[in-house]
A = this chain, B = another copy of it.
Amino acid sequence: MRTIFILLMLCSVLTPMAAQPQPSDSLMPIPSNLQMGTGRLLIDPSFSVGISGNSDPRLQRGVERFLNDLRRQTGMLPLDMKVTEPSKAMLVIRAAHANKEILELGEDESYSLEVSNTGAKLDSPTTLGALHGLQTFLQLVATASDGFAVPALSIQDKPRFPWRGLMIDAGRHFIPLDVLKRNIDGMAAVKLNVLHWHLSENQGFRVESKKFHELHEMGSDGLFYTQEEIRDLIAYARERGIRVMPEFDMPGHSTAWFVGYPELASGPGPYQIERKWGVFDPAMDPTQESTYRFLNDFIGEMAGLFPDQYFHIGGDEVNGKQWDANPKIQEFKRSHGIKNNEDLQAYFNKRVQEIVSKHGKTMVGWDEILRPDLPKNIVVQSWRGQDSLAAAAKQGYRGLLSHGYYVDLMWSAERHYSFDPLGGAGANLSPEEKQRVLGGEACMWGEYVSPENIDSRIWPRTAAIAERLWSPQEVRDMDSMYQRMEKVSRKLDWLGLTHNSGYAPMLRRIANSDDISALRVLADVVEPVKDYNR
């Protein structure tokens, strides 16, 4: 008996202090409004969820996923646990309405969550809000000395910006579907709601086209997504409240198109898939009507494949060298009174915008596209600075901030976190102009990422960007951000993201040994290459 007592004493000494969990320690993004209560709700194998009111199938499946996530996170709940009667459930969800099948920009994503000693209530106007509330609940579940618990509290929450994105560049390096899916799970966990899928580049054209086979057949090294796979990924994201916007970069960044269709280019060709990184000369010929006929057919096909309202045409980094070298293009500029290559690209953008619009979509482009002759319904994605975003808003254009959010540059989370879509020149916008700033997107450019390391580039820093886009502007405490980001990072492990779990195997590979202690010290203390430079 004494032995048992001593063992128990030892256990309680060895068990780390499991004090009352503090929700502000574990939530990212921080909710817009949170009041602590008294006590806590124990989460044990008798835990149950009920759906009252609207029982949208998307919500039902979301609850099944929630239970599975809770199971993984706690390692505990019965596998056969099912959704129960609301009257008997410990967590009762009431979402007033289902969202439309195809998610739109600006859907109501708000929710409220009340947790007491005896149960929890999650209320929301829509399924999307309920899905966000379930993610908040998952983040609140913490180990206590006697099991798992959620602290008693009251949350009213809604996003600051309606567009909270992650761009993944699958053009430079192909990223397999399973890797995209686990990153979509990570996005949902931190309440991001747009996957911006960069699908064509000098180094690869990644989408099956049934109209123009040679785009993917000759431009992808065989590494492309079939249309069936794309529909599957869109459905996967939609289940999690995430829109998928495709990007086909034009007129530059387009060498891979020209391998199969050299007639689209401004130079004679032939073309090979590009094997280096940088800004390259090949660009579409904006002076030929055949270019626009091709794009009309192609965009028409893609508009049918991608249901999202928004369609990204890239538009960045055209160096104009092929245009300068082509006498017919020079003649076109003269005869049409086009003074420079910027104006020629503006002409191209206007023609493409008409095509995108004809196929029922709204055009998005990088900030180079911003020219007053484009209609006001386009969206400008600013990568070159906060000021260009504010300038667009002043001119009546809606915009997204990505400057400051390039996770491939390996900046600190703190540095990303300090950029605000309404910071810099944005702070001086009128309330009406501020409305035009839709949010922002973290950008995962693909030069130096592979399926192995992409998670470690995106996570956990993208969680800090997600907080910037969701939480109130005044949430800015860096220590708190780092502390919470670390917690979220560990929770993402349960979703199969490899940013933590991949580290030791990679070190062991380098060391060719199980003893990685010295190498780990070195790797932990050196800073990563930033901005691709020392």
Residues of A within 8 A of B (CB): 14-16, 18, 72-75, 79-80, 82, 142-144, 173-174, 221-223, 450, 452-453, 486, 490, 493-494, 500-501, 504-506, 508-515, 518-519, 522
A493 touches B513 (CB 8 A): no
Contact at A223–B511, with CB atoms within 8 Å? no
Contact of A514 among B72, B221, B486, B519 (CB under 8 A): B486
Cβ-defined partner of A515 (8 Å) among B16, B79, B509, B519: B16
Of B15, B144, B221, B511, which one neighbours A16 at CB under 8 angstroms? B511
B450 touches A75 (CB 8 A): yes
**Contact residue among B144, B223, B505, B518 (Cβ-Cβ distance under 8 Å from A494):** B505
Asked whether A80 lies within 8 Å of B223 as measured between CB atoms, the reply is yes
User: A521 CB to closest chain B CB, in angstroms?
Assistant: 9
Contact A450 B506 (CB under 8 A): no
**Is there an interface contact between B79 and A512, defined as CB atoms closer than 8 Å?**
no
Nearest chain B CB to A25's CB is how many angstroms away?
A: 10
5 A/B residue pairs, CB under 8 Å, sorted by A: A72-B452, A75-B453, A144-B512, A490-B514, A501-B505
For A204, the closest partner residue in chain B by CB is: B80
- The residues of B that contact A450 with a CB separation of less than 8 Å are 75, 79
A494 partner residues in chain B, CB cutoff 8 A: 505
Separation of A358 and B173 alpha carbons in the complex (Å):
54
Task: Find chain B residues with CB under 8 A from A490 CB.
Answer: 505, 508, 514
Contact A505 to B519, CB < 8 A, known contacts A18-B512, A82-B222, A142-B512: no
Compute how far the CA of A508 lies from the CA of B144 in the bound complex, rounded to whole angstroms: 12
Distance A215 CA – B490 CA, assembled complex (angstroms): 40
Are A173 and B79 neighbours in the complex by a CB distance under 8 Å? Answer: yes
Chain B contacts for A72, CB-based, 8 A: 452
A143 to B511, CA, bound (A): 8
